[in-house]
Amino acid sequence: MWYYEKKLQYPIHIKRCDLKMAKVLAAQLGGPDGELAASLRYMNQRYTMPTGKIKGLLTDIATEELAHVEMISTMMYQLMEGATPKQLQEAGLAGYFTQHGRAVFPADANGVPFTTAYFQSMDDPVTNLHEDMAAEQKARTTYEHLMMQTDDPDLLEPLRFLRQREVIHFQRFGEALDEVNFHNGMKKVH
Instruction: Give the confidence band of 1 by pLDDT, cuts at 50, 70, 90.
Output: low
Domain for residue 38, yes or no?
Answer: yes
Domain that holds residue 42: 19-104+123-189
Q: What does the pLDDT look like over 162-188, one tens digit per residue?
A: 999 999 999 999 999 999 999 888 765
pLDDT for 189 beyond 50 = no
Domain for residue 143, yes or no?
Answer: yes
Domain with residue 132: its CATH number is 1.20.1260.10
Domain for residue 138, yes or no?
Answer: yes
Domain for residue 87, yes or no?
Answer: yes
Mean pLDDT of 91-100: 94
Domain for residue 113, yes or no?
Answer: no
Model pTM score: 0.93
- Per the structure, how many domains does the chain have? 1
pLDDT at 183 (0 to 100): 86
Mean pLDDT of 9-30: 96
Q: What does the pLDDT look like over 30-52, one tens digit per residue?
A: 999 999 999 999 999 999 999 99
Domain for residue 2, yes or no?
Answer: no
pLDDT for 88 beyond 90 = yes
Secondary structure of the chain in the HEC alphabet? CCCCCCCCCCCCCCCCCCHHHHHHHCHHHHCCCCHHHHHHHHHHHHHHCCCHHHHHHHHHHHHHHHHHHHHHHHHHHHHHCCCCHHHHHHCCCHHHHHHHCCCCCCECCCCCECCHHHCCCCCCHHHHHHHHHHHHHHHHHHHHHHHCCCCCHHHHHHHHHHHHHHHHHHHHHHHHHHHHHHHHHHHHHC
Q: What does the pLDDT look like over 54-83, one tens digit per residue?
A: 999 999 999 999 999 999 999 999 999 999
